[in-house]
């Protein structure tokens, strides 16, 4: 039987936790890279801690990547680690580039050195499309990033393509549109809204302060999207894929669905706050997942409404406990 060993950077994040669950269910030995912190950040993976193996490492430290790969001897590497919050990328643009851009080169160089047969997945992003040059966005749509994060992801994308073409690595890039879940970080807008709705419902808060309600996003469920990551690494040839639902919603629609589900009127609670307006906005994202559908056989299973309701219910349950 073929050896199936995965090494996941960013295993403590939203996607890392869902991907680890998926790979365990497929019989993989799963290693996760974690960076040292003064307190543990294993909340999202606490339920599978006895089934995975954690190795310390940091995208800033090339030697730590090399020694982690030597230890794990993976057949597949999923590079999910990044500074992933767009507003922070204006506050910390250099650090964002070090993690989210140059960190990809460090990982690719480490693979080249340790074992060039390792299959590599890079977590690219629809933020690369930024001020979109085409609607909907496909693998052929040119990039026009609008944040230091988007610029860093575009670098990570192209260096992955370049290592595939220069060194014949099995290196692929998944251009994933926004995907959410009850495990989403509290600062991202979907979770901020569902957590805010739950707090208001339970009398813990009265209002929810938000920025641009007109921005449009193609939002899917993270559990569906990690399946696409895995599928990309099982193909005969490496290639890049857009992963999206093909539908877009405004932030306002998100807010309406979440408040409706809790039986409340959003207009009584939502306040606009200029502090959450960005220096440059991505107004509209809508992906064309046709290639993923045709070549990977991938399609999203959870609808936007189902996902937002699931997130509201989960936050109400968490805050009621
Ligand atoms: P997330 O929840 O923010 O998780 C990010 C992970 O990266 C965390 O495990 C974090 O570890 C780790 N990390 C950050 N800096 C690191 C460093 N220097 N060295 C090692 N690990 C580091 O992100 P996510 O939503 O799961 O997204 C996963 C990846 O997909 C990211 O690359 C993101 O940019 C990309 N992406 C996400 C979406 C989306 O909608 N979710 C869409 C497109 C692309 P700590 O726990 O130590 O902080
Ligand atoms: O939830 P967001 O912070 O996600 P954003 O910026 O689209 O980035 C996410 O998706 C990318 C894929 O396209 C990933 F690569 C990236 O790592 C991250 O996961 O904001 C979504 C929209 C924005 O237009 C923002 O201006 O919501 C708008 N928004 C309005 N009020 C808000 C708020 N966003 C946040 N975070 N907080 C608000 O109060």
230 lies in the same domain as 260: no
293 part of a folded domain? no
What are 171-222's pLDDT values in tens digits?
999 999 999 999 999 999 999 999 999 999 999 999 999 999 999 999 999 9
100 and 143 share one domain: yes
pLDDT of residue 1 exceeding 80, the answer is: no
Q: Which residues does a 6 A CB cutoff place in the pocket of ligand 1?
A: 9-10, 12-16, 35, 41, 58-60, 80-84, 99, 123, 125, 176, 178-179, 185
The answer to the question of residue 295 being in a domain is no
Tell me: do 228 and 168 sit in the same domain.
yes
Residue with the smallest CA separation from ligand 1 atom 3 is 84
In a domain, 167, yes or no: yes
Question: Is the CB of 86 inside a 6 Å radius of any atom of ligand 2?
Answer: yes
Residues 150 and 229 in one domain: yes
* 98-135 burial code (b ≥16 CB/10 A, e <16): bbbbbbbbbbbbbbeebeeebbbbbbbbbbbbbebeee
- Name the DSSP letter for residue 80: -
Q: Which domain holds residue 161?
A: 5-179+220-243
Tell me, yes or no, if 125 is annotated catalytic. Answer: yes
CATH number, domain at 263? Answer: 3.90.25.10
Residue 78 CB contacts under 8 Å (≥ 6 apart), including other chains: 6, 7, 8, 9, 10, 16, 19, 121, 123, 229, 233
Residue 127 appears among annotated catalytic residues: yes
Catalytic residue among 78, 121, 124, 127: 127
Instruction: For residue 23, tell me if it sits in a domain.
Output: yes
Q: Is 28 a catalytic residue?
A: no
Tell whether the model's pLDDT for residue 243 goes beyond 80.
Answer: yes
* Rounded alpha-carbon distances, angstroms, from residue 307 to 190, 303, 312: 10, 6, 9
The Cα–Cα gap between 142 and 244 comes to: 17
Residue ID of nearest Cα to ligand 2 atom 28: 212
Q: Which ligand is nearest to the CA of 129?
A: 2
**In this structure, are 22 and 83 located in the same domain?**
yes
Ligand 2 pocket, residue 293 CB under 6 Å: no
What's the CA-to-centroid distance between 86 and ligand 2, angstroms?
A: 7
Q: Please, which pLDDT band fits residue 259 given cuts at 50, 70 and 90?
A: very high
Please report which ligand is nearest the Cα atom of 282: 2
Report the domain count for the chain.
Answer: 2
pLDDT of 2 higher than 90? no
**Residue 169, CA distances (Å) to 3, 118, 152, 165 in order:** 19, 8, 21, 8
Quick one: 290 exposed, middle or buried, by C-beta within 10 A (0-12, 13-18, 19+)?
A: middle
Question: Structure pTM?
Answer: 0.98
Considering the domain architecture, whether residues 90 and 209 belong to the same structural domain is answered as no
Give the residues across from 180 on adjacent strands: 221
């Amino acid at each position: 039987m073929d050896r199936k060993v995965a090494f996941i950077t960013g295993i403590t994040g939203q996607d890392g936790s869902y991907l680890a669950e998926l790979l365990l269910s497929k019989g993989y030995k799963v290693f996760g890279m974690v960076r040292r912190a003064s307190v543990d950040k294993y909340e999202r993976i606490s339920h599978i801690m006895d089934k995975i193996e954690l190795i310390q490492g940091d995208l800033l430290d090339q030697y730590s990547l090399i020694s982690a790969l030597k230890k794990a001897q993976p057949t597949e590497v999923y590079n999910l680690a990044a500074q992933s919050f767009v507003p922070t990328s204006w506050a910390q643009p250099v650090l964002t580039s070090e993690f989210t851009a140059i960190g990809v080169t460090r990982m690719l160089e480490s693979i080249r050195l340790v074992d060039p047969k390792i299959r590599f997945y890079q977590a690219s992003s629809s933020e690369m499309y930024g001020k979109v040059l085409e609607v909907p966005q496909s693998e052929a749509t040119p990039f026009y990033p609008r944040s230091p994060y988007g610029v860093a992801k575009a670098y990570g994308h192209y260096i992955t393509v370049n290592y595939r073409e220069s060194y014949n690595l099995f290196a692929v890039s998944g251009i994933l549109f926004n995907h959410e879940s009850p495990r989403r970080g509290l600062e991202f807008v979907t979770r901020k809204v569902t957590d805010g709705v739950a707090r208001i419902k339970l009398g813990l808060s009265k209002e929810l302060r938000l920025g641009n309600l007109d921005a449009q996003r193609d939002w899917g469920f993270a559990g569906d999207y990690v399946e696409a990551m895995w599928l990309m690494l099982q193909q005969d040839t490496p290639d890049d894929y857009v992963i999206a639902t093909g539908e877009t919603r405004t932030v306002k629609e998100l807010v309406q669905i979440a408040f409706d589900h809790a039986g409340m009127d959003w207009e009584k609670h939502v306040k606009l706050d200029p502090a959450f307006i960005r220096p440059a906005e991505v107004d509209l994202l809508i992906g064309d997942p046709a290639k993923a559908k045709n070549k990977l056989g991938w399609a999203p299973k959870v609808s936007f409404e189902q996902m937002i309701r699931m997130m509201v219910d989960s936050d109400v349950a968490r805050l009621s406990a």
